[in-house]
């Protein structure tokens, strides 16, 4: 799989920074590979907050632990990206860094280590910040609903 396998639709008539587009595609490609935990963690700022359903992590060490736990029962995972809704907001007075925010939704197919297949729908909210010339998550929250079986209803 490559980044071209993680194509997403953006709104027509809205300019989206190419760095954001590349970030999103590459993040989900890395996310679906359990051997790339270290690389996945590097998509987050050192003080980032991550919320995956009812699990929460803050900071790189906690984020790494959460990432590793995501693969304890899962043999394979494949995200399908549908649409991204980018936004730009005025920065609060105390902040000077430009940040990018977006909402995204898609589906995911999972195979558990026991062979059971599952599918689900998910949505996420993200805040990206420039960290020494590279975009990284300062905040990322995922809402997921999974279904047992091989097809999403």
CATH number of the domain at 40, please. 3.10.450.50
Rounded mean pLDDT of 146-151?
A: 61
Domain membership of residue 137 (yes or no) is yes
Domain membership of residue 51 (yes or no) is yes
Domain extent, residue 120, equals 16-89+99-148
Q: How many domains does the chain have?
A: 1
pLDDT classification of 46: cutoffs 50, 70, 90: very high
Collect contacts of 97-103 with beta carbons under 8 A, ≥24 apart. Answer: 97/129, 97/130, 98/129, 98/130, 99/127, 99/128, 99/129, 99/130, 99/138, 100/17, 100/20, 100/127, 100/128, 100/135, 101/125, 101/126, 101/127, 101/128, 102/20, 102/24, 102/126, 102/128
pLDDT the model gives residue 68: 96
pTM over 0.95: no
Domain membership of residue 8 (yes or no) is no
Rounded distance between C-alpha atoms, residue 78 and residue 130, angstroms? 27
Domain membership of residue 1 (yes or no) is no
Domain membership of residue 10 (yes or no) is no
Mean pLDDT (the chain, rounded): 89
Domain membership of residue 48 (yes or no) is yes
Domain membership of residue 40 (yes or no) is yes
pLDDT classification of 132: cutoffs 50, 70, 90: confident
Domain membership of residue 79 (yes or no) is yes
Task: Report whether 140 contacts 44 (CB < 8 A).
Answer: yes
């Amino acid at each position: 799989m490559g980044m071209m396998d993680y194509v997403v639709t953006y709104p027509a008539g809205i300019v989206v920074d190419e760095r954001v587009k590349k970030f999103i595609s590459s993040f989900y490609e890395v996310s679906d590979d359990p051997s790339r935990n270290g690389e996945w963690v590097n998509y987050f700022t050192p003080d980032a907050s991550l919320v995956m359903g009812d699990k929460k992590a803050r900071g790189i060490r906690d984020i790494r632990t959460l990432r590793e736990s995501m693969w304890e029962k899962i043999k394979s995972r494949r995200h399908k990206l549908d649409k991204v809704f980018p936004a730009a907001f005025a920065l609060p007075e105390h902040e000077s860094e430009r940040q990018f925010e977006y909402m995204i939704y898609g589906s995911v197919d999972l195979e558990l280590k026991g062979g059971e297949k599952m599918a689900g729908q998910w949505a996420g909210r993200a805040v990206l910040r420039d960290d020494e010339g590279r975009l990284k998550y300062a905040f990322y929250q995922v809402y997921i609903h999974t279904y047992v079986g091989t097809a999403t209803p």
